[in-house]
Amino acid sequence: MTVSKNIRPFHTVLVANRGEIALRVLRTVLRLGYGTVAVYSEADRDSPHVQAAERAVCIGPAAPAQSYLNIEAILQAARLAGADAVHPGYGFLSENDAFADAVDAAGLVFIGPSGDSIRAMGNKAGAKRLMQGWGMPCIPGYEGQDQSDEVFVREAARIGFPIMCKAAAGGGGRGMRRVDTPDALPAALSSARSEARTAFGSDELILERALIDPRHVEIQLLADSHGQVVHLGERDCSVQRRHQKLIEEAPSPAVNAELRARMGQLAVDSARAMGYVGAGTMEFLLDAEGQFYFMEMNTRLQVEHAVTEAITGMDLVEWQLRVASGQALPWQQADICLQGHAMEVRLTAEDVPAGFLPQTGPVLRWRPPVDHDVRIDSALREGGQVSPHYDSMVAKIVAHGSDREEARRKLLAAVRQCVLLGLPSNQGFLADCLADAVFVQGVGVHTGFVAERMGLPPAAPAPISQTVALAALAAQVNNLPTSDHGHVHAGALGQGQAQGLLQWGEQRWRYRIRPTSCPQASDAGAGPSTAWEVQCTALGGVAPAAISASTSAAIPDHNALTPDTHTTTLTHVQWQDAAHTELALECQGLREQICSAPTDRGVHIFHAGRAWAFDCPAAHGQTEQAAGSGAVLAPLTARVLQVMVSPGQAVQAGERLLVLEAMKMEHTLTAPFTGVVRDLRVQSGGQALKGALLLLIEAEAA
């Protein structure tokens, strides 16, 4: 269906999205005086974006296909609430041509480009053909209609390895695989097709030559309905994992004024050639010689738009609204000035050492930095949940400075103070990236930065002895059972003493704790299966509320302590808040503050700029799992997409067992060693909770 695009004034905007982008759009819509309508799934009934809007309409169950991807439900919500314009945000239906057409056909204003423009750029194969016709350099590849494996194998040999296999109908790293050898191509095609079908409803693929260590650079565009198109400079999005962006900055350290002008002019000319209206982004790969190649055009607002706003002083959502209402852009290209430098990080709920696996669970503590000159876009709330139904990104943190180093420094300080407890996140990993020597220099960053500098998967950090001692203290003040299966209570000092200062009588207690989000060794030098025995002794009379915590690494299989122990003295322990979530204390004479959250399994703490989760086996009677177990556990809450084995089947080490799907991504689990499948507990189409036993592999007899 092709319909004419409605461009006219409107009075009430429905935001067809959720989370932080819905909140971000609502802020500008409210500032400009428009009426606001939110939509929400049953899972999002109490979400912040619902509370931020003047009106809100439930559009269906938690599953996106029945709510945020349900075009008719969204149009019905607009009719019910009296909205005459729709802003799609990003993700979900934002680049769905049928949605744009349906909004226009319903007589509403779609705050975005026309359905024709979305269609033209929505398919990578078609977009590349159009761009080549307009003089845009493109990466050599295959964009044909014949999707047979035989043709892909032949074309891959023509292009040359390594190659990229990409979903033609989408982006964001979904349905994308790098293939280094011919024998790996069939499996990559199958996996990419499956993920693309799930994410975009189409399993069409293209092939492209894989550039070695390129930079990912994109040009931000604005176009009105009067023929005026300008670009707002470039963003560098080279720090990625799983082909998805983690850190973005503007301008790019690799782009000078001459290159910016060339890339920008080609982007502007192409947008004008297609009659584009609204905000959009041309994405490029930039090689070491300065040659750039078109990848795709995103016909929507980008996650990283905030860094462009920071260096231009513009509100891009405001100009989306103004353009959609028929206003003309007031600038020529020469009027666009870039001021300073901006950086953004994406805070995601994921287990970094496990290969950036998305994670779900409760938000026990959420304390964004408040004393830093940064912008934070988030819909997180303490006491809420991160759902398995939606994307793993939970917040964006943006810093602006007079130059790149000032922006980086401010952003790093803010990230190190960002507290998220209750589920794994990439907060500490982001800080490590921002502090990395190559990133500090800027010029050596490319799309392989994470693999080159951090490893794939990145190594888990190791807690220092002070962190372990503080975890034991947090367990104690939250009344978790000790290893002796008792409770040790901390009480407040008597009247006239410092309020909230904690004390203990002449006593000792012992905790066995082990890290759940940081499985490497401590500074005591133990191995990955390490737990810690923490012997705490109250030192009444020596110093206010003093305890001595002696930390020794223990190997669970042998229950043996290493000879190397570390003694930490903790004094002046005092609650900082009425809710008893933050403790101030002196640790080895250094004044520190920690945030903590108890769970039924242990305790989470934020210390030394990083979140840590520790398991206390005595708190729930958990027994240690023997090393070398063949238990295959669910690494995240997910749907079981495919089961590739059956009970009694012999498997080789590394053989594919199951495919899980969560947060729009597929995750393949493989056999830990050669053996036989026993006790298969799941089937295709079922659900698996994080930590659930999926199957057992019994080792071959020696």
Token pair of 477 as six digits: 């003040």
State residue 56 phi and psi, 5-degree precision: -150, 145
Label residue 653 exposed, middle or buried (CB < 10 Å: 0-12, 13-18, 19+): exposed
Residue 686 CA to residue 646 CA, distance in Å, equals 15
- Amino acid 326 reads G
Marked catalytic residue, from 119, 193, 241, 300: 300
| Cβ within 8 Å of residue 323, ≥6 positions away | 7, 222, 223, 224, 225, 277, 278, 279, 329
Q: Are the C-beta atoms of 112 and 93 separated by less than 8 Å?
A: no
Could you give the CA distance from residue 278 to residue 299 in angstroms, rounded to a whole number?
Answer: 8
Report the C-alpha gap between 602 and 613 in whole angstroms. Answer: 8
Residue in the block written with tokens 């007899």: 701
Residue whose entry in the numeric block shows the structure tokens 């060794």: 521
Q: What is the CA radius of gyration of the chain?
A: 27
Would you call 610 a catalytic residue per the annotation? Answer: no
Burial tier of 448 (Cβ tally within 10 Å: 0-12, 13-18, 19+): middle
Query: Which residues, listed in sequence order, are joined to residue 231 by a DSSP beta bridge?
Result: 221
Query: Cα angle at 183 between 181 and 184, to 5 degrees?
Result: 70
* Secondary structure of residue 283 in the 3-state scheme: strand
What CA dihedral angle connects 479, 482, 484 and 485, to 10 degrees?
50
Contact residues for 42 (Cβ-Cβ < 8 A; gap 6+): 58, 60, 61, 62, 67
**CA distances, 320 to each of 114, 250, 257 (Å):** 13, 20, 27
Instruction: Determine the Cα–Cα distance for residues 553 and 59; give it in Å rounded to an integer.
Output: 52
Q: Name residue 631's beta-bridge partners.
A: 696
Give the amino acid at 608.
A
Taking alpha carbons only, the member of 519, 529, 526, 524 closest to residue 353 is 519
Q: Which two tokens stand for residue 437?
A: 């020597």
Closest CA to 20 of 393, 317, 278, 426: 393
Backbone angles phi, psi at 318, to 5 degrees: -55, -45
Cα 45 off chain centre by: 22
Phi first, then psi: what are they for 697, rounded to 5°? -110, 120
Active-site annotation, residues: 300
